[in-house]
Amino acid sequence: MFPISTFVNIVRLVLTHKKVAFDFHDLEPEMGSPAHLSLHPFNRVPILDHAGFRIYETSAIALYVDEAFGPALQPRDMRERARMHQWISAVSSYYYPYMSYHLSHERLIYPALGIASDEKVVAHALPRIAIALDVMECELCTDAVYLLGDQLTLADFFVLPTLTSLSMTPEGHEMLKTRPRITAWRARMEAQPAVTKVWAMVAPHIGEPVEHARKWVETHRPQY
């Protein structure tokens, strides 16, 4: 795992909410090494090791942790569970890519390494971010406390880290100002004890250069 990773923080939030003690192993210096690839053949984080059982992919990890340790963060109702999975999938497909992978990388990760932002990547991401935020604002229109109503679920923990990294960019900060329901939801989430604890772990690393991200300019950056 590396300290400021959005997906790593989803797992940290879920473990912390469930009061499961865990050791955090920072893989940043080893990313892409044979040792890391033996744990994650797609060269990503997080990876969970629970008593010798290893698994990667954040949704698989979170669902495993949820079944292994209470209290449940999945609705009992089948349809509500389907909606939770809709959120989990939407984070990977429509929220994280444009908010974190494109905008935050261009505005935060690359500048911290002295690499100039690619404005074409930013311009491509912004309207897509607006759509995703509008969808979320609308889902919260029913006066829902959390994304699925009254119950805090994995959906909330999946969305939060991506929105937090969005909020740290100038454009994201502005876009969030005009979405009061998302803002209120974020405030409720920020008040969760697990969130306070996890942000305290992450805070010292914010703004630190992510050295291995230098090569993302070649490997990850979209070409428009």
Ligand X SMILES: N[C@@H](CCC(=O)N[C@@H](CS)C(=O)NCC(=O)O)C(=O)O
Smaller CB distance to ligand X: residue 45 or 166?
A: 45
DSSP structure class, residue 74: S
CB of 130 to ligand X, least distance (A): 22
Q: How far is the CB of 142 from ligand X (least distance, A)?
A: 28
Q: How far is the CB of 181 from ligand X (least distance, A)?
A: 26
- Only one residue has tokens 């690359």, namely 110
- Give the CA dihedral 119, 123, 125, 131, nearest 10 degrees: 160
What's the closest the beta carbon of residue 188 comes to ligand X, in angstroms?
24
Backbone dihedral angles phi then psi of residue 181, each to the nearest 5 degrees: -75, -35
Q: How far is CA 61 from the centre of its chain?
A: 13
User: Any idea how long the chain is?
Assistant: 224
Element of type H or E holding 169: none
In sequence order, which residues have a C-beta less than 8 Å from that of residue 163 and are 6 or more positions away?
95, 99, 176, 182, 186
Q: Is 30 left (phi over 0), alpha (psi -120 to 50) or beta?
A: alpha
Q: How far is the CB of 96 from ligand X (least distance, A)?
A: 7
Q: Which is nearer to ligand X, 45 or 189 (CB)?
A: 45
- Closer of 57 and 171 to ligand X (Cβ): 57
Helix (H) or strand (E) holding 47: strand 47-50
Q: Which is nearer to ligand X, 99 or 195 (CB)?
A: 99
Question: Judged by CB, which is closer to ligand X: 132, or 140?
Answer: 132
Catalog residues that contact ligand X under the rule CB under 6 A: 5-7, 31, 43-45, 57-58, 92
Q: How far is the CB of 42 from ligand X (least distance, A)?
A: 7
Encoding tokens for residue 16?
């912390």
Q: In terms of CB distance, is 1 or 122 closer to ligand X?
A: 1
